[in-house]
Structure 1
Amino acid sequence: MPSQLRKIDENIWVVEDSFVILGVKGSVRMTIVRFGDGQLFIHSPTMIDDQLSDQIEALGAVARIVAPNLFHHLFFMACAKRFPNAQCWAPKGLAEKLKGELPDHQLLDDGNPVVSSGELEQIALKGHGIRETVFFHSPSKTLITADMIYHYQGDQYPSETLFFRLVAKFGELSLPFYHKFAAGDKSVFLAGIERAKAWPFERIIMSHGAIYEGIAAREKFAQAWVGLLR
């Protein structure tokens, strides 16, 4: 069955999908934001067939496609080909990782904003091996991240459930333990996390696990980082 758009708030949608790597099936989420000018931003694209493409184009024109870190790129090239007029954005190092098999793109960096209207803010989390950039959609008070935090609730695929029981606190908004080893420059990385914690978000959309909503979202996010990298 083709994936479907699900509206989360005004001008923000998600698509729930899956992927298979080395025979292991996992869930993944794409986020789509529509700006005031009607243009669309696609974060961490999933597989997009003709039916889903029609649904997306009914929302507006796809103008920006983002691979948010060095691991969320599986469907990036296909998405860029489907929406050839969109600007593509990727972290430094992804072109080298994929041996140049990337569309023309701009590098994700705080000094090179994906959107300059103020509707979407971004922080490049430097000092961490996956080189993720996180985003804050201010109109909906939503933090958008790929792999910085998870919220697994037991409705995932069996192999995925087993994996995340091993790497994070299953059933809670929590961090995978490997952040401790992936943060090569902890002081630089934590400075970025501190900036992200200051955003007034009330929802967290991550690429894996249940979306977390509520006025405690920011507090829970902050608590999750306490002690992990100290």
Structure 2
Amino acid sequence: MLEELQPGRLWVQYADQSFLSFRFGTRMTVIRLADGGLFLHSPTPLSKELAGALRLLGPVRFIVAPSRFHHLHLGPYIKAFPEAEFHGTKRLLTKRRDIPWKGVLSDSTPAPWQGDIRQVQFRGSLILDDVVFCDPKADILILTDLVQFHECREGSLHALVARMLGVYQRYAVPRDIRLTIWDRDAARRSLRTILRWDFDRIVLPHGPIVPANGHRLMARIMQRLN
């Protein structure tokens, strides 16, 4: 269920998901902070088995919704982890008033995880409000929707759409997202911040984990936005 990527430090959990009749995956990232508490990024559907596995790793302290689109599974976590703090992007605070938000995600890393994780909000897009995270101790960059890689059956409608978006069997910023980037200078500043971080692997919800050379991949993506 939980796949360990960094011994004693970072785990991921993959789940199937559907959107507009297309089936594709999503992925939660779990980081154990220095104090032993857990940081949950982009929660996936919560089962009894998953809740139990998380409790075995440590107390769930922070539950993070890093994008206006990654909030669907938050509800059950409120009851399962009543002591946890919920943090989301500014747009989510008004979109999901049923969530007991504790903080707003931005370029400023909150003090509770400042020593463990780095973050920056990708700016310049009319629709995308992703907050990108990096765990330097694990050499891992954690994305949401900024970069995608769609694995789907050749000849399917999903494959056709993925090709149109430029993300069929390749890592890229989807074309529909690129078209919403109205402030390219702001987007470049966000990407430059990301490239100043030390990371080799990339975890993303929509696509396979990048096992190596992730920094080089992000540099190529930045060039395409120029």
TM-score scaled by structure 2? 0.90
Cross-structure match for 2:38 = 40
Deviates more, 1:170-179 or 1:35-44: 170-179
- The correspondence of residues 197-212 of structure 1 with structure 2, limited to 5 A, is 197-212=195-210
Asked if 1 retains the 8 angstrom alpha-carbon contact of 2:141 and 2:203, the reply is: yes
Cross-structure match for 1:75 = 73
Cα distance in 1, alignment partners of residues 178 and 124 from structure 2: 12
> Among residues 10, 13, 16, which one is paired with 1:12 in the alignment?
10
Shift of residue 192 of structure 1? 0.8
- The 3 A distance-change label for structure 1 pair 200 and 54 is same
Deviates more, 1:205-214 or 1:123-132: 123-132
Cross-structure match for 2:166 = 168
Cα distance in 2, alignment partners of residues 56 and 101 from structure 1: 23
Cα distance in 1, alignment partners of residues 5 and 153 from structure 2: 19
- Aligned residue for 2:43, secondary structure, equals coil
Cross-structure match for 2:52 = 54
Question: For residue 151 of structure 1, what is the amino acid of its counterpart?
Answer: F
Question: For residue 48 of structure 1, what is the amino acid of its counterpart?
Answer: L
* Deviation >6 Å, runs of 4+: none
Question: For residue 172 of structure 2, what is the amino acid of its counterpart?
Answer: S
- The 3 A distance-change label for structure 1 pair 162 and 58 is farther
Question: For residue 111 of structure 1, what is the amino acid of its counterpart?
Answer: S
Shift of residue 59 of structure 1? 0.4
Cα distance in 1, alignment partners of residues 123 and 187 from structure 2: 5
Deviates more, 1:158-167 or 1:35-44: 158-167
- Aligned residue for 2:23, secondary structure, equals strand
Cα distance in 2, alignment partners of residues 162 and 28 from structure 1: 20
State the Cα RMSD in Å.
2.1
Question: For residue 175 of structure 1, what is the amino acid of its counterpart?
Answer: V
Asked if 1 retains the 8 angstrom alpha-carbon contact of 2:93 and 2:101, the reply is: no
Cα distance in 1, alignment partners of residues 103 and 171 from structure 2: 32
- The correspondence of residues 42-121 of structure 1 with structure 2, limited to 5 A, is 42-98=40-96, 100-113=97-110, 115-121=112-118
Unpaired segments ≥5 residues, structure 1: none
Shift of residue 222 of structure 1? 0.9
- The 3 A distance-change label for structure 1 pair 207 and 155 is farther
Question: For residue 88 of structure 2, what is the amino acid of its counterpart?
Answer: A
Unpaired segments ≥5 residues, structure 2: none
- The 3 A distance-change label for structure 1 pair 150 and 21 is closer
- The 3 A distance-change label for structure 1 pair 203 and 49 is same
Asked if 2 retains the 8 angstrom alpha-carbon contact of 1:64 and 1:114, the reply is: no
Q: Number of aligned residue pairs: give it.
A: 223
Cross-structure match for 2:121 = 124
Asked if 2 retains the 8 angstrom alpha-carbon contact of 1:26 and 1:159, the reply is: no
- Per-residue Cα deviation, 1:134-165 (whole angstroms, up to 9, x for no partner): 00101111000111112344589x66544323
Shift of residue 181 of structure 1? 2.1
Shift of residue 123 of structure 1? 0.6
